[in-house]
Amino acid sequence: IIISIIVVVSAIFLFSLYQSKKHKNTLLAERNEQIIKQKEELSLLYKEQYKLNETKNKFFSIVAHDLKSPFQSILGFSELLCSEYEHLDEDQRRDAANNILKVSGDTFRLIENLLEWGRSQTGGVYAVFKVFNIRELVVKTLPVFEPQIQTKKIRLTYDLPPLLNAWADPDMIMAVIRNLLSNAIKFTPAGGEIHLSATMSHDSVKLSVRDSGSGIPPDVMERLFTLDPKVQRAGTMGERGTGLGLTLCREFMELNHGIIKVESEAGKGSTFTIIMQPKHHAG
């Protein structure tokens, strides 16, 4: 009986010891999982912070450089008109006024992009989905580019079905169209062509902007929708860019549950296409 009691007590003790060890191992495993999870969260936080710092640096770089330069041009031409107005002939006055108009328009679009992009980076932009007409939106966007189109003698055509509607945020899509048209004009040579077209399938609406420019180099294509400085290229008449517009386009299309893609071939121009949801998604 004593031996049996000793065996039972020993068995209970060993079982308790085993359970205690198992419980400690479980707690240790859980603790290790927590540590790994915390490391992953810290790593993600670090990457986000690094991205925010890059974004902030890019923002201030654009403000410091890309805004300073056009304002210097505007001030220079304005000063010329004010101080030398009586000594300038009519053609010189008209040239100075045209330059002020062009630089002001470019600067205004840059400021628009900066404000929209800044809001998107801080989470202050939300897509307000509505049904809107593609043709009407494009036609409303075109007048702002008329001076540039006339200056470069570009032939702009469009094939947009009158009853084609999409389901997205029309203000964001207009901002995307503005940027795509601005880029197309920038990289289209004098006397070139730009064509806009739209089509619809069962599950998508596509709007394309095709230009007759020189195309996009492969090394630039890889970084096209990022803030990489290599994306920045001068236009056919020396127009400057920040690389910000296409980044904004990608972010806005993502907010609208759509995508943007590009096809380009050296010497044959580029085609940018945005893909949106059709009208029936509104239901």
Say yes or no: 156 and 273 in one domain.
Answer: yes
What is the value of pTM for the model shown?
A: 0.66
pLDDT of residue 156: 93
Task: Please report, in angstroms and rounded to a whole number, the separation of the first and last CA atoms in the chain.
Answer: 81
Asked which of 159-163, 186-190, 219-223 is least confident by mean pLDDT, the reply is 219-223
What the block records as the tokens of 267 is 């010497």
Say yes or no: 7 and 98 in one domain.
Answer: no
Say yes or no: 254 and 145 in one domain.
Answer: yes
Helices 134-141, 170-187: crossing angle, 10 deg rounding: 50
Say yes or no: 103 and 227 in one domain.
Answer: no
The set of residues, in sequence order, having a beta carbon less than 8 Å from that of 135 and lying 6+ positions away, is 160, 161, 162, 164, 198
Say yes or no: 135 and 254 in one domain.
Answer: yes
Contact present, 228 and 243 (Cβ < 8 Å): yes
Query: What are the tens digits of pLDDT across the range 101-114?
Result: 877 877 777 777 67
The whole domain housing 31 covers 1-66
Res. 127 pLDDT band, cuts 50 70 90:
confident
Strands 259-264 and 270-278: what pairing? Answer: antiparallel
Contact present, 155 and 192 (Cβ < 8 Å): yes
Domain count for the chain, please give it: 3
Say yes or no: 159 and 215 in one domain.
Answer: yes
What the block records as the tokens of 183 is 């880029």
Tell me the C-alpha to C-alpha distance, in Å, between residue 193 and each of 2, 124, 179.
104, 37, 17
Residue type, 179: N
pLDDT of residue 19: 76
- Residue 133 sits at φ, ψ, to 5 deg, of -90, 125
Say yes or no: 81 and 138 in one domain.
Answer: no
The domain spanning residue 208 has which CATH number? 3.30.565.10
| Model confidence at 65: pLDDT above 60 | no
Q: SS3 of 132, please?
A: strand
Angle, vertex CA 206, rays to CA 203 and CA 208, nearest 5: 170
* Residue that terminates a domain, selected from 90, 125, 160: 125
Residue type, 88: L
* Residue that terminates a domain, selected from 36, 66, 96: 66
Say yes or no: 178 and 106 in one domain.
Answer: no
Query: What are the tens digits of pLDDT across the range 135-160?
Result: 999 999 888 888 888 888 999 999 99
Say yes or no: 121 and 135 in one domain.
Answer: no
Say yes or no: 86 and 205 in one domain.
Answer: no
Strands 130-133 and 165-168: what pairing? Answer: antiparallel
Say yes or no: 42 and 136 in one domain.
Answer: no
Say yes or no: 223 and 165 in one domain.
Answer: yes
Helix H segments across the chain? 2-61, 68-84, 90-121, 134-141, 146-151, 170-187, 218-221, 244-255
